[in-house]
C-alpha cells in the first residue's frame, strides 16, 4: 500500500504543476478550505509525521491511512478522498487526536469527508457501514433510543448481508440480550425536531 500511495502522491504533485495535461488528476483548490471549515480542523498543520497512521487500528484495512488522507486533502485530491474506503473505516477511536503533535483530530476530518461524500452523491466505498449508521439513526428517530432487533433486521434487509452472524444474533437473543419490544421515550417529537434541522448526511 505504501509504495502505491507514495507514487500516487507524487503524481498528484506533478499534476498540480501541469493542470492542462489530459490524463492528469484534477486538483480542486477549494477542497482543503472546505474540509477545514466543515471539520473545524486545521489540516494544513499536518507535516506528515505519521503518528496517526501508526496508531490507527483500522489503517491496515484502509486504502489510505489517516495521514495520507490529510495529505490528499492538502493537495486538493477531492475525488480520490471522497471515493476512499478510509473515510468509512474510521471508527472514531480518537487515537490520532490524542497523539497528533499539532492537535489535529483526523477522525473529525474523516467524519466531515463522509458527510461531503454523501452530499455530493458519491457512492460510499463501504456501503454496509453507511447502511448500519442510517438504521441506527432511524431507530433513534422512531423511539428516541436504539432498538437492536428492528435495527438489525432493517440492516440485514437493506445491506443484503442476510446470513452473516445469524448464529451470534441467535445466541444473544437466547440470552435475553436483544429485547423484542422497543423502549419508546415520551419526547420523540422533540427528537424528530432535532433530526429535521440536520444539514447533511441524508443524501
Select 75 or 90, whichever has its Cβ closest to other proteins: 90
Number of residues that bind other proteins (CB under 8 A): 63
Indicate which single residue of 43, 52, 95, 116 sits in contact with other proteins (rule: CB under 8 A). 95
* SS (HEC) of 89-114: HCCCCCHHHHHCCCCCCHHHHHHHHH
- Rounded CA gap, 99 and 51, in Å? 7
183 binds other proteins (CB under 8 A): yes
Q: Cell triple for residue 147?
A: 432498538
Helices H / strands E in the chain, number of each: 12, 0
Query: At closest approach, how far in Å is the CB of 149 from other proteins?
Result: 9
Q: Cell triple for residue 87?
A: 473515510
Contact flags string 33-72 toward other proteins, x per CB under 8 A? -----x------------------xx-xx-----------
Neighbours of 71 (CB within 10 A): 20
Site for other proteins in 115-144 (CB under 8 A): 115, 118, 126, 128-129, 131-134, 136-137, 139-140, 144
145 binds other proteins (CB under 8 A): yes
Which of 68, 125, 126, 124 shows the shortest CA–CA distance to 96? 68
102 binds other proteins (CB under 8 A): no
Select 26 or 134, whichever has its Cβ closest to other proteins: 134
Amino acid at each position: 500500500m505504501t509504495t502505491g500511495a507514495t507514487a500516487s502522491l507524487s503524481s498528484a504533485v506533478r499534476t498540480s504543476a501541469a493542470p492542462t495535461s489530459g490524463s492528469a488528476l484534477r486538483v480542486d483548490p477549494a477542497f482543503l478550505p472546505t474540509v477545514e471549515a466543515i471539520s473545524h480542523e486545521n489540516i494544513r498543520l499536518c507535516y506528515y509525521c505519521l503518528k496517526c497512521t501508526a496508531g490507527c487500528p483500522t489503517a491496515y484495512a484502509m486504502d489510505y491511512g489517516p495521514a495520507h488522507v490529510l495529505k490528499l486533502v492538502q493537495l486538493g485530491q477531492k475525488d480520490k478522498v471522497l471515493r476512499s474506503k478510509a473515510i468509512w473505516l474510521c471508527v472514531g477511536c480518537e487515537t490520532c487526536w490524542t497523539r497528533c503533535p499539532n492537535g489535529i483530530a483526523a477522525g473529525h476530518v474523516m467524519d466531515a469527508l463522509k458527510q461531503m461524500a454523501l452530499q455530493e452523491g458519491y457512492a460510499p466505498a463501504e456501503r454496509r457501514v453507511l447502511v448500519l449508521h442510517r438504521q441506527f439513526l432511524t431507530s433513534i428517530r422512531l423511539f428516541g433510543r436504539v432498538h437492536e432487533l428492528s435495527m438489525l433486521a432493517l440492516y440485514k434487509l437493506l445491506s443484503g448481508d442476510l446470513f452473516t452472524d445469524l448464529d451470534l444474533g441467535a445466541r444473544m437473543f437466547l440470552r435475553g440480550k436483544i429485547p423484542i419490544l422497543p423502549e419508546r421515550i415520551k419526547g420523540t417529537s422533540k427528537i424528530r425536531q432535532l433530526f429535521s434541522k440536520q444539514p447533511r448526511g441524508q443524501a
